[in-house]
Amino acid sequence: MRSKPSSKSALVEALNLRKYYPVYGGLFKRIKGFVRAVDGVNLAIREGESLVLVGESGSGKTTLGMLLAKLIQPTSGRIIFKGVDVTEKIPRSLRRKIRVVFQDPYASLNPRIKILDQVIEPLLSEGVDRGEAEERGYKVLESVRLDSDLASKYPHELSGGQRQRAVIARALITEPDFLVLDEPTSMLDVSIQAQILNLLKKLKTEYSLTYLFITHNLAVARYIGDRIAVMYLGRIVEMAPKRVLFSNPLHPYTKALLSAYPPPDPEKGWEPEVPEDMATNPANPPKGCRFHPRCPLAFEDCRVRAPETLEVEREHYVECLLYR
Amino acid sequence: MAVVEVKNLSVVYYTPKGLARALDNVSLKIERRGEILGLVGESGSGKSTLGYAIAGLLPENAEIVSGEILVNGVNVIDAGVDSRPRISVIFQDALTALNPVLTVGEQIAEIFMYVHGMERREAYEETRRVLREVGLPEGFTNRYPHELSGGQRQRAVIAMSLALRPALIIADEPTTALDVTVQAVILKLLHRVVKDNDLTMLYITHDLSLVAHMCDKVAVMYAGEIVEYSDVRSLFRDPKHPYTIALLKAIPRIDADVEELEPIEGSPPSLINPPKGCRFHPRCPYAMEKCRVAKPGAIQVGHGRWARCFLYEE
């Protein structure tokens, strides 16, 4: 997706970012091919915004999140964070400004270490003395609304929602600018999900954060997002401000995705118009437009020409030949 | 005669931490054939336990301590294999339900041969028919489960349910493992198949949005109890139990911009040591003195609707 080059307000930028994973096979486990998890993504995340990345499994949304969080190295392309090219190496002072929250709060916490100790661990490893670290730890626990008497508990003594609060607290302890949130509420029950979503909204203002929020749930995207990017087989196929995307979706895949979600209201219709369930393989994406084999509107050109990104209205980008 | 009638069912689990009262005096009816009843609740609400109790699939550490489960009038708790009405279960993970070393056709044909006593040729003819009905054309008969996509596997499982001609289908989160576009297709198919064949289904889910479009009736569960029972339209238009009301305000909506969700504060209670009185009272904004000490009964709140809540007491 094209973005305004190095616009002042961009906190994080991806320039033609790719991540290929080798696929091994055969007798000598030679490289047979590559899974193109992320295949040419351009993206600028603005300071203070909440950009939601939606897509189904295998779309590459998690890989893109890990790239931007600097957890894995890209195959090619560049990543700019706060104006600094951090593709190859990220200085320590910037490293601590990017933090990640994963889906499973239990897997994210060490079962043998007390909550407060896990939360302040990043500070201790930076050489902050224990007294000060604990003081800041309690403060951040208060921000995520975790009772201070839970500080000395172990993860298994906490509920799922409390654990996710602890994980968020640990992310906040280094005073980051950028949080990558990968399905942070999808393992939680709905009553708890609402608590965490509201907490994340509040923290974003309190801590002046910028979010990359990854989810498969479009209803969650509509609640938490300012802008929404839709991923399909390693590419961002549509991106727009939330209101625009929900009122005027353009890409046939986005339309299909939106129609698949039932509204929580039996008096509203639910007529999903979704393409054939096909095994889509990122190791061998279709030629031309990647969506063409499943697209109800595909025409001859779609089979051979890869669509480029078009800005069809202000800030509304779509990768589809229909809008040439 | 109701297709399913659960009367005062209580189920406990023996756990290392103590006795968990997973179902407490649950009563429920599916009145007529062709009906889809949604069982909705969060984790630990007892919705799967109720489904498994009806299917006779409770794990070893569970025990039915009281109550009756009638399916087509037969008490399935102590009925022998021969007199038990047939119940088919569709699980979240289709792969565990399919035999990996048999083709899809073979495992469905087995049902026609061994359950319905058909000859081999007739059984395979019927197999092809049910596979067509679930959208798996000819070529799929000879495929193995691992050769199918997630959606196709769930189609095969639905075909097996059809082949069994069950008195009741219990679908436990059948699409939770699938992508949303596939989920939409499978649920539409399941709904059509149940209605076309006049089958009866208990649909277990945590997702109220799916209940809205899949079900005729709905039972909302909380902490081992059914707190509200209603037809689907009335429940969404005018929810009665404070838990149902709160739940509907807590879900993000695909169809509207919501300024602020209203979460339900606190967490669901432990089933080992549940709160006295109404189990929802510690989280309930309307809780009264009485709610802390007494358990509300099922109070009628409309035509064919009831809620367990003192707010509606005359």
pLDDT digits (tens, 9 = 90+) for A102-142: 988 888 999 999 999 999 999 999 999 999 999 999 999 99
User: B173: left (phi > 0), else alpha (psi -120 to 50), else beta?
Assistant: left
Instruction: Say if residue A6's pLDDT is above 90.
Output: no
**Chain A residues whose beta carbon lies within 8 Å of the beta carbon of residue B246:** 191
The shortest C-alpha distance from A74 to chain B (Å) reads 27
Q: Identify the pLDDT of residue B94.
A: 86
Domain B4-86+167-312 -> CATH class: alpha beta
DSSP state of B221: E
Question: Residue range A85-97: average pLDDT?
Answer: 95
Interface test with B, best of A156, A216, A265 (most B CBs within 10 A): A265
Of the candidates A24, A21, A30, the one whose C-alpha atom is nearest the C-alpha of residue A75 is A21
Whether the pLDDT of residue A279 is over 60: the answer is: no
Residues of chain B with C-beta less than 8 angstroms from the C-beta of A216: 179-180
Band of the pLDDT at A28, cuts 50, 70, 90?
Answer: confident
Domain range list for chain B: 4-86+167-312, 100-165
For residue A3, pLDDT over 50 is answered with no
Closest chain B residue by Cα to residue A226: B257
Answer whether residue A5 shows pLDDT above 50.
no
Report the pLDDT value the prediction gives residue A151, as an integer from 0 to 100: 96
Strand partners, B222: B225
Q: For position B96, what pLDDT does the model report?
A: 85
In sequence order, the β-bridge partners of residue B220 are B40, B228
Helices (H), A146-265: 160-172, 190-206, 218-224, 242-247, 252-260
Q: How far apart, in whole angstroms, are the C-alpha atoms of residue B18 and residue B227?
A: 24
Q: How do B217-222 and B36-40 pair as beta strands? A: parallel
Give pLDDT, residue A27. 79
pTM of the model: 0.93
Tell me what pLDDT residue A8 has.
53
pLDDT at A64 over 80: yes
ipTM confidence: 0.92
Q: Which residues contact A324 (CB under 8 A, 6 or more apart)?
A: A307, A310
Predicted confidence pLDDT, tens digits, chain B (314 residues): 899 999 999 999 999 999 999 999 999 999 999 999 999 999 999 999 999 999 999 999 999 999 999 999 999 998 888 889 999 999 988 888 899 999 999 999 999 999 999 999 999 999 999 999 999 988 899 999 999 988 999 999 999 999 999 999 999 999 988 899 999 999 999 999 999 999 999 999 999 999 999 999 999 999 999 999 999 999 999 999 999 999 999 999 999 999 999 999 888 898 999 999 999 999 999 999 999 999 999 999 999 999 999 999 97
Distance CA A175, CA A207 (A): 8
Radius of gyration of chain A (CA): 21
